Amino acid sequence: MKAISEILTQVSSVAVIGHVRPDGDCVGACLGLMNYLKLAAPALKVQVYLESFSESFLFLKGAETVSADSCDGQTYDLCIALDASDRERLGAFAGYFDHAGKTVCIDHHITNTGYADIMHVCPQSSSTCQVLYTLMDDAYVDQSAAECLYMGIVHDTGVFRHSNTTRETMEIAGRLMDKGIDFSALIDRTFFEKTYRQNQILGRMLTESVLFMDGLCVFSAMRHKIMEFYQAAPKDLDGIVDQLRVIKGVECAIFLYETAPQEFKVSMRSNKTVDVSRVAAVFGGGGHIRAAGCTMAGTVYDVLNNLSEHIEKQLIEQGLR
């Protein structure tokens, strides 16, 4: 696929969907595409479906039109899935996908399973927002679409710090800056700003973190009881694993939070050696080489033992153990 326009022939209605627990890239991509289509294809009916997301994204144009309704009875000529690496990641919105006349997936996950009629996956791209921009006609990217796309790039690159940041990432970000966005406020408001509660949780999880494998790995785990104590939602836990990753000497950081009794959502980050997408894929998850996740059953120690086995295997292969 070379351009969004290619998939719009004989299409008059589009559902745009993202993945469960939508992050900045996912929300930015869905709203960015919606704002773009409003200008590029004004006659098109476009509806975005997403689970509840961070309030800090609500200022983006069109955020108030997003529906969280997973069965409103609508069917669409086209369903576009963004930033979702497999069908399960579509969660409750898979119904719109299954009943659409045609399906398209635009993504950047190396672990993408190729589940749509038309696939456009660029694993070398920093973000789905970066991929999307390359499929757009710049003439129809206005300030509101630019804000959305820029936000997605900022979030998936950790503000242009992660190794997925390339010259192309910076060039596209530059073109989006040309649209007159207030990029510095956008970065502060959506990426760095934390609520008091989020900061307290971050502090607690850092205090309780444990180094293992001679300091090559670190983990921290959030129990359900503690989540309840802080009245924390999963979106309040963003950024904890990234702070664990920057501990000196650490190659692999693991953050767990309890989603059900004996069930944990796993977030992994690595620095130079370990391909965490391979580790996550063993347990039915996925992601990128340096950032991946999955859901696992058992106690915290069961989960850590199972993950460690695969992490250590890679460290041994690389001569680090």
Contacts to ligand 5GP by CB under 6 A: 85-86, 89, 109, 111, 241, 267, 285-288, 291-295
* CB-nearer residue toward Mn ion: 30 or 216: 30
* Dist CA 147 CA 305 (whole Å): 42
Neighbours of 200 (CB within 10 A): 14
* Residue, CB closest to Mn ion: 25
Q: Which residues pair with 78 in a beta bridge?
A: 14, 102
Question: Nearer Cβ to ligand 5GP, position 28 or 287?
Answer: 287
Pairwise CA distance, residues 84 & 75, whole Å: 20
Choose among ligand 5GP, Mn ion, none what residue 85 binds, the Cβ cut-off being 5 to 8 Å by kind: ligand 5GP
Q: Which residue's CB is nearer to Mn ion, number 201 or number 288?
A: 288
- Nearer CB in complex with ligand 5GP: 130/267: 267
Does residue 83 belong to the site contacting Mn ion (CB under 5 A)? Answer: yes
Residue 295 touches which of ligand 5GP, Mn ion, none (CB < 5 to 8 A by kind)? ligand 5GP
CB atoms within 10 A of CB 177: 13
What CA–CA distance (Å, rounded) separates 44 from 46? 6
Nearer to ligand 5GP, 89 or 278 (CB): 89
Could you tell me if 62 and 31 are in contact, meaning their C-beta atoms sit under 8 angstroms apart? Answer: yes
- 86 sits near Mn ion (criterion: CB under 5 A): no
Kindly state the smallest distance separating residue 109's Cβ from ligand 5GP, in Å.
6
Q: Is 147 in the site for Mn ion (CB under 5 A)?
A: no
> What are the CA-CA distances from residue 40 to residues 3, 24, 79, 103 (Å)?
12, 23, 17, 20
Q: Would you count residue 251 as binding Mn ion (CB under 5 A)?
A: no
The three-class DSSP label of residue 1 is coil
Helix (H) and strand (E) counts in the chain: 11, 11
244 binds, among Mn ion, ligand 5GP, none (CB under 5 to 8 A by kind): none
